[in-house]
Amino acid sequence: MYPTPLGTKQTTERPIPHARMALLTNSSNFLSDADRDAYFFRDLESHQILLNEAQVQAVRHFKGPLLTLAGAGSGKTTVLVCRVAYLLRVHRVHPSNLLLITFSKKAAEEMRERLTSMPGLDHSMTNTMQVRTFHAFCLRLLRMNGLQQEILSDGRYQQIVFKRIMLSMGLQDTYQPEVLISLLSSYKMQLIEVEDLPEGTEEDKEVKRIFMQYEQWKMEQQKIDFDDILIKAYHLLRQNTDVLRSLQRKFTYISVDEFQDTNTVQYEIIQMIAKDHENLMVVGDDDQTIYSFNGARNEFILQFHEQYPAAKTVTLDINYRSTSSIVGLGNAIIKHNIQRKSKTLLATKESDRKPQYVKPMNSDDEADWLINDLRIKVAEGGSQYGDFAILYRTASNSRAIIEQLILHNLPFVDYGSNDSFYDQWMVKPIIDHLRLAHERRNFEAIEGVLPSLYIGRDQGMRIIQDQEAIQAKKWPLIHLLGLPQLKDFQKEKLKSRIRLIKSLADMKPLDAVQAIRKDFYDAFLETNKRSKLTSHREMLKETLDELESSAKRFDSVEQFLYFIHEVAEKRTEMSRLQKEQFANKISLMTIHKSKGLEFPIVYLLCAIEGNLPHSSALDASHLDDVKMAGVTGRDKGTAALEEERRLAYVAVTRAKAELLISSPAFYRGKKAEPSRFLLSAFPGADPVVSREPAAAAGSAAARRPAAAGKPAAATERVAAWICEQAGCKAWSRISSPQEAKLAAKACPLCSAAMVKGSRMVTLTR
């Protein structure tokens, strides 16, 4: 482990960032008993609720708009709850006139519980006030105004509906239902009607038809989905002035939590209700806006004073969660963003342990190191499994660590998909081809390969089963030659596919996966409409590259398939155990899922260029399918990079006591560099920080020629052997994973021992 992401020792030129320590004062130090509201704060103090000056300022705010910028770990929930209590007890506001909006059911429940435990409040007061999520508030409004439709709350059933619609349109296996649902939601949350969607391409027209049929199905079935709840509430308030005036008179004090996550529809609803009195308190952190792909708009915070010129701002800048070195690292990362409100967090806890950086060889070595480190910490008796969180940028980053947790029988909760990596829609067809090579009469696998042959599952399996009943074949796929609509070239492709499958059995798994990709699968994905609608097209390549990394570890297809089966069996077994509610489990989640949470010990995986920042962000200005609310054209690249930096900031600030960050030297077979966000936290760090956003290896922009007049060379830091002998300046580049595994190497000039380090080199084009 190293104290810096470069794998070098701390120096005076490159000090470890620390946050300044806050002066620990609270209301008992600066509020006099002579103050009119002193009794309120004395009661809080007696319950060990000790507010700092900024928090008191926010709590005391009475009339007009207030923007409360709440840095990570700064006690925003405490401020929200205390301010509500202040309005009730000091200003004698009736509970029914208060509206407190949160973004999750869990947060709403926590708010109610904390309000009930506040001094001077009781159940009758808290039960009278509205503490709800946006959806719960809007649904109640709709029900009170005659809405009868049933809520389509089952996400799996919603996917089934989309599958049925596509089947009826002859588009089975054409689009991924989850992607369509996400796309439709993003349009709706930006107040774009289905009727107004573009029809520029054949895919646009198909998608629009699917959406139109979905809307028609809901109308016929008397159902609405979660997005409809917000949209219908918005239209009700726009069209029915009596209902709007009633809400404006009723809710004279409005508070909104997690304001940075607000989308266009939600903000419009709040603005309408608060229009007359403008007693609107919003609490959020522009540095934690990480959901722009879901419609969240960073500018709602940044431009709050343009919408409300009389607004006051209170900045909560004292972090009560993390140690000074963790807070300092977060500050040093996020300060490089331009589109943000300026703030630097202070710390309240000294650092016993500073953030540590590791550079394993690859994702599998990373998982081995993490498991070993985690087990040592637990064995030493200072930590429990529930203290640990493992965070990563994308779901595919979790493949190796989940496999190791399963194989070591360690208790964990995966807050992502319930599906195994090998069951993902872009991975499973390849696995099905391998299964057929191993077991040619595996009918489940046969069904899985049919879409890549452009043959419908139902039609293909029907003819196979009918012909098998008449005469069984060693290779049941051969029955497909009997399909009447197949042209000669399609029959040749089918025969070629069967030959390919036969050849896979004797290959090494990596060679087999690469043969499938090269022969047809990459081209199939490229032309498949599923790919064109995937939010980040790079996800397809990185997922298949991860599959290759997994396959590389095995000598035979049979071994690889057995391992996949073993992981699936253990995952099913552990899923059953996890339903028994005990808290002592390791938490696994993407950085997006971790927002709002905190853990004593956090591992951040794969903090490298091309992953954090993600390749899709590095190429955002050139990719049509990277969508960011309110951002278009040339600005998209800059905005996407700033959102990636906010992701890094969120990840770092989840840790309370220990933070361990891994940046593998090789990522899916290619050399990788530590994330620019980490390097930027250290003065005089690697020039990768100042490179063009799209210059990461593997990104589309990196493959484009440099514009005229631009420099033809850049520099990068590479892993290297460095001679320790005094006076000898020899060094050599570590150019392969095999070489990087060597424990030692002799200097070719003086024969002294060389050690692993890094050197700057010039990139030539």
What CATH number does the domain containing 473 carry?
1.10.486.10
Q: Is the pLDDT of residue 534 over 70?
A: no
Residues 652 and 677 in one domain: yes
H-only helix segments in 258-412: 264-274, 299-302, 304-307, 324-334, 363-379, 399-407
Residue 2 lies in a domain: no
Structure confidence by residue, pLDDT tens digits, 354-370: 999 999 998 889 999 99
323 within a domain of the structure (yes/no) = yes
**Cα(663)–Cα(675) distance, rounded to whole angstroms?**
8
Q: Return all residues near 518 (Cβ < 8 A) that are at least 6 apart.
A: none
456 and 439, same structural domain? yes
Q: Taking 50 as the threshold, does the pLDDT of residue 700 lie above it? A: no
Lowest mean pLDDT among 3-17, 126-140, 411-425: 3-17
Do 533 and 396 reside in the same domain of the chain? no
Whether residue 136 is found in the same domain as residue 159? no
395-402: average pLDDT = 88
The answer to whether position 555 is within a domain reads yes
- pLDDT tens track for 677-695: 999 998 754 444 333 333 3
Examine residue 136 and state whether it is found in any structural domain, yes or no.
yes
Three-class secondary structure of residue 639 per DSSP: helix
Give yes or no for a contact between 612 and 393, defined as CB atoms under 8 angstroms apart. yes
Strand partners for 604? 391, 661
The pLDDT value recorded for residue 763 is: 41
* Window from 41-45, 53-57, 345-349, 414-418 with minimum mean pLDDT: 414-418
3-class DSSP assignment, residue 347: strand
The listed range with the strongest mean pLDDT (326-335, 539-548, 727-736) is: 326-335
User: Which tens digits make up the pLDDT trace of 235-251?
Assistant: 999 999 999 999 999 99
Which letter does DSSP use for residue 400 in this model?
Answer: H
The pLDDT > 90 percentage for the chain reads 53
Regarding whether 77 and 124 lie in a shared domain, the answer is yes
Residue type, 236: L
Dihedral pair phi/psi, residue 578, rounded to 5°: -70, -20
Q: Say if residue 512 is in the same domain as residue 374.
A: no
Q: Average the pLDDT over 569-582 and give the result.
A: 65
Q: Which among 145-154, 642-651, 747-756 has the top mean pLDDT?
A: 642-651
Q: Answer whether 466's CB lies under 8 Å from 484's CB.
A: no
Mean pLDDT on 440-468 = 89
CB 68 within 8 A of CB 282: yes
Domain limit, last residue, from 189, 221, 253: 221
Q: Can you tell me the mean pLDDT for 101-109? A: 89
pTM tops 0.85: no
DSSP 8-state assignment for residue 15: P
Residue 376: its pLDDT value, please? Answer: 93
Residue at token pair 């070489």: 739
User: Is 694 within the bounds of a domain?
Assistant: no
Is residue 23 included in any domain, yes or no? Answer: no
- Only one residue has tokens 């071994």, namely 559
Of 179, 200, 221, which residue is a domain's last?
Answer: 221
Same domain as 242, residue 208: no
pLDDT at 566: 84
| Residues 373 and 489 reside in one and the same domain | no
- Verify that 266 and 308 share a domain, yes or no: yes
Do 462 and 434 reside in the same domain of the chain? yes
How wide is the angle at C-alpha 284 spanned by C-alphas 280 and 287, nearest 5°?
A: 145
Rounded distance between C-alpha atoms, residue 353 and residue 382, angstroms: 14
Q: Tokens 């690292």 belong to which residue?
A: 329
**174-178, 416-420, 462-466, 481-485: range with lowest mean pLDDT:** 416-420
pLDDT tens column, 704-714: 344 444 444 44
Distance CA 725, CA 720 (A): 15
Do 733 and 719 meet the contact criterion of CB atoms below 8 Å apart? yes
Question: What's 422's DSSP letter?
Answer: G
Q: What's the token pair of residue 763?
A: 């990139």
| Range from 71-75, 140-144, 303-307, 578-582 carrying the lowest mean pLDDT | 578-582
pLDDT at position 100 is 96
The answer to whether residue 687 is domain-embedded is: no
SS3 for 334?
Answer: helix
State percent of the chain over pLDDT 70: 87
312 lies in a domain? Answer: yes
Which structural domain, as residue segments, surrounds residue 758? 715-762
CB atoms within 10 A of CB 79: 25
CA atoms within 13 Å, Cβ hemisphere of 159: 10
Domain count, the chain: 5
Q: What are the structure tokens assigned to 254, written together?
A: 């409005």
* Residues 725 and 747 sit within 8 Å (Cβ to Cβ): yes
What is the C-alpha separation between 348 and 496, in angstroms, rounded? 67
pLDDT for position 718: 63
CATH number of domain containing 380:
3.40.50.300
Q: What is the pLDDT of residue 535?
A: 46
User: Is the pLDDT higher at 39 or at 570?
Assistant: 39
pLDDT tens digits for 614-648?
Answer: 887 877 655 554 455 555 544 777 888 999 999 99
- pLDDT at res. 757: 75
Least confident of 253-267, 293-307, 324-338, 516-530: 516-530
Beta bridge partners of 224: 151
Pairing outcome for strands 356-358 and 388-392? unpaired
Nearest to 313 by CA among 338, 284, 334, 290: 284
- Grade residue 7 by pLDDT with cuts at 50, 70 and 90: low
pLDDT value at position 630? 54
Which band of pLDDT confidence, cut at 50, 70 and 90, is reported for residue 231? very high
- Kind of pairing between the strands at 731-733 and 714-723: antiparallel
Q: Based on the domain organization, do 239 and 212 belong to the same domain?
A: no
Q: Are residues 674 and 733 in the same domain?
A: no
Owner of token pair 């070195």: 325
pLDDT of residue 620: 62
Residue that is last in its domain, among 634, 665, 681: 681
Mean confidence (pLDDT) of the chain: 85
